[in-house]
Structure 1
Amino acid sequence: MKDRRIRKSQEAIKAAVIELMMDKSFDQITIQDISDRADVSRRTVYLHYMDKFDLVDKLIEEHINRLRELCDIAGHDAEYTDMGLLWFEYLEKHHLFFSAMLASRGNSFFRNRFLDFFLQELKNMVKGKEIHERSITGLTEDDDVETQFVGAAIVGVVEWWFKNGKPHPPSLMAQRMGTLLERNLKADTPKA
């Protein structure tokens, strides 16, 4: 029973900070604001988190780890469109968190972590496709410039999607993303 109460408190605290970030900048949010919104004591917040930075860091890590697990389950040799669908469905399901993080004025920390996730997944996907298809792609594990370009493009598209109120469903976003990834990650001719 105690575990259920702890989980309930933690979920209320997480939801509170996300809701608050939709209303004001992260710098303006206090532990008192979080505890009031979560309907828990400040002591309870501090029991689970060192400060608001620790809370947000754990939230970010939780979502990045879940995304990584989903990618691992799908397999890194999955089609780009399938992987894009997985990403956009997850993003839509947790839209409050991602909207808050991407809209926040202090979002550079989150954006960098989010970009790092996509960079690693792109490298894993390319490596998985090379092994699975025994083909040579236009992007190798050592092509940092191309990986950075494609990763930043994905983050930019996700930001655009949220800032514009998710104008297209995840399936269409995945299809378009898959086409762009396929076009940018495959070379017309093999490298020598």
Structure 2
Amino acid sequence: MERQTRQDPRVMRTKRLLRDALIRLMEEREFDHITVQDISDHATVKRATFYLHFKDKVDLLESCIDTVLDEFEREVSIRHEDEKFDYTIGKPHPNFIQMFHQIAIHFHFYRALLVTNRIPYFTQGLMAVIHEFVSTGINRTEPDDNNLTARREIIIKYVESAFLEVIIWWIEQNMPYSEEEMASQLMDLSIQGPYIRNPVLEAKKEQ
């Protein structure tokens, strides 16, 4: 039986202080204008201590991103048991709610990396998770291409891009709607589109 090595609590605390300091700084200014000394000062640790744990500020940033993305992917991934969900009950799928919940509990992180800064490494990683979420959902909801209004890959790209922009807007506006309301609206848009009734057909009927 393998023994798992437990990380020293002091090391964990130092790394947390450095990560928190980086995010606070990134909410205020661009990443390129932040130095290791800035991070160390805000974390109240010595510069030498920083280099005991991270090669440079990019290494620290990527460590932060990997941790948050791993959690995001784990919490929003669609599992086999999710197939039993009844989409006709008028409530958002728990995974949709969990998506916005994850953003809410890491609000400062998402704002720093998607609004104040736009970090490609994070954006690409987040989009990859959203892509898997969207494609899995669409493929399970409607596996028949004949029942889709456009090519499957185009629909997936369209929906995942919309998801990301809606998330960014929600963060920019300081989360004006609840997690549940955002989840409900985004799920309805994904399944039904923006119209209750087709406005083109309605206009044609009136002619």
TM-score bin (small chain): 0.7 to 0.9
Q: 1:25-50 CA deviation, whole Å, 9 max, x = no partner?
A: 10000000001101111222222211
Number of matched pairs: 178
1:43-192 aligned within 5 A:
43-72=48-77, 75=80, 77=83, 81-129=93-141, 136=144, 143-183=152-192
> Which ranges in structure 1 are unaligned for 5 or more consecutive residues?
185-192
> Which ranges in structure 2 are unaligned for 5 or more consecutive residues?
1-5, 194-207
CA radius of gyration, larger in = 2
Q: 1:123-169 CA deviation, whole Å, 9 max, x = no partner?
A: 23334446xxxx63756xx8322211111100000000011111101
Residue 81 of structure 1 contacts residue 179 of structure 1 at CA under 8 Å; is this kept in 2? Answer: no
CA distance in 1, matches of 2:192, 2:134: 14
What is the TM-score when the length of structure 2 is the normalising length?
0.77
CA gap 1:20/1:69 in 2 versus in 1, 3 angstroms = same
| Identity %, equivalent residues | 25
Structure-1 residue corresponding to 2:201: none
Residue 18 of structure 1 contacts residue 97 of structure 1 at CA under 8 Å; is this kept in 2? Answer: yes
Supply the AA of the counterpart residue of 1:101: L
What is the TM-score when the length of structure 1 is the normalising length?
0.82
CA distance in 1, matches of 2:123, 2:78: 24
Q: 1:76-130 CA deviation, whole Å, 9 max, x = no partner?
A: 5356632210010111011010011111334333222211110122223334446
State the Cα RMSD in Å: 2.3
